[in-house]
Amino acid sequence: MSINRRQFLRGVAATGASAAAVAAAPEEAAAALQREPRGRAPEALGLLYDSTLCVGCKACVAACKSANGKPPEISADQSDWNAGTWDSAKGLSAKTYNIIMVYQNGTMAAKDAETDGFAFIKRQCLHCVDPSCISCCPVSAMQKDPVTGIVSNDPNRCIGCRYCVYACPFQVPKFEFEGAFGRISKCELCRHRLAKGELPGCVDSCPTGATLFGRVADLRTEAHRRITLKPGDTYAYPRGDISGKYGEHREPHEKVITAAYREEVYGETVLGGTQALYLSAVSFDKLGLPYGPDIPTSGYASQTEGIQHFLYTGMIAPAAALTGLILLARRNVDKHHSEADEDAEDSQGGSHGNA
């Protein structure tokens, strides 16, 4: 795109005015530049994780490692007692795409209680509807399947810049530091297994149905059905794929409700929505998820892209910055030449005086 001198100067003035507006009222200016949020694909696939059903067995962690060919992870402070028998990863990493963590309070006497209780939480990629990792990737290595909505990383494109690591609000993508050529690793919902009609490893191994697979639309319906249940109710929880399309048929897991659900499905709207949904009896912020009045319902990508696109329209902002650098360099050169001329005159004057 070409612009003439008048358009360039107008653009520079507009950019400067916008910068001043952003400085004066950053929230209003950012809102004005925000693009429309992206919507969830009708056939998007995802997970429903029910914390009240999770027993912390970590079968999903082992199955994820097996499905993705990842080795056990043993930290240095665990090596004295763990000689390789147990996978004892402390968090998500390039070797661990899925992990069960625990919230603990007081005596931990009751499961799914915030006070003197404990609760489990499953951490993996949430496959955001409007992912920040895709928005920030300069080489389009991060991609979102237009049908399933699964977010994946193409290692052949990835340049290891790690922007996605810093941009993800859920701190999911991890960089492999140990190899000669590092790469980004994260949960891709076992898309290689889905292609063969198999369930993701974590779902396939879950004995209680705490992790349920299916269309996000069906999972949302199931989630809203559950949050109407009351302690004392008995419910037959489906297992595997809620639609029965992937994997073998599984009988439901029947359970008496012992802890009241929070009347909220995490992932429906937070940060633009996710394809991994969560149910819990404990507050989601206690489980380490971004939660609260300061967390927007639109994705961060819709805000940052709007600002970026405005600043880079017609390459006006970069051109203005380059022009400023050139003028600064030119001024310094002129100043240097002026000082050199003055030094030369002083030197000549001093020589005459000595003679």
What are the tens digits of pLDDT across the range 57-69?
999 999 999 999 9
In a domain, 346, yes or no: no
Q: Are residues 165 and 303 in the same domain?
A: no
pLDDT band, residue 35 (cuts 50/70/90): confident
200 part of a folded domain = yes
The pLDDT value recorded for residue 206 is 97
283-335 confidence digits (pLDDT tens): 999 999 999 999 999 988 887 776 555 555 555 556 666 666 777 777 766 66
Residue 344 lies in a domain: no
What kind and span of H or E run contains 152? strand 151-153
Question: 257 and 157, same structural domain?
Answer: yes
Closest CA to 134 of 198, 200, 186: 186
Cα–Cα distance, 313 to 306 (Å, whole number)? 11
User: Residues with Cβ < 8 Å from 78, sequence gap 6 or more?
Assistant: 88
Domains: count for the chain: 2
Whether 241 and 218 have beta carbons less than 8 Å apart is answered as no
Same domain? 107 vs 251? yes
- Structure confidence at residue 354 (pLDDT): 43
Question: Is residue 15 domain-shared with residue 69, that is, in the same domain?
Answer: no
Same domain for 309 and 282: no
**Distance between CA 248 and CA 205 in Å, rounded?**
12
Same domain, 227 and 334: no
Q: Does 252 lie in the same domain as 166? A: yes
Are residue 190 and residue 84 in the same domain, yes or no?
yes
Cα separation, 186 vs 125, whole angstroms? 7
Together in a domain, 246 and 204:
yes
- 3 state SS of 241: strand
Domain range for 318: 1-37+299-338
Dihedrals phi, psi of 269, to nearest 5 degrees: -125, -20
Token pair belonging to 250: 């599984």
Residue 144 lies in a domain: yes
For residue 351, the model assigns a pLDDT of: 45
In a domain, 343, yes or no: no
pLDDT of res. 229: 97
What CATH code is carried by the domain that includes residue 201? 3.30.70.20
pLDDT per residue as tens digits for the range 131-186: 999 999 999 999 999 999 999 999 999 999 999 999 999 999 999 887 777 889 99
Please give the Cα distance from 76 to 79 (Å, whole number): 5
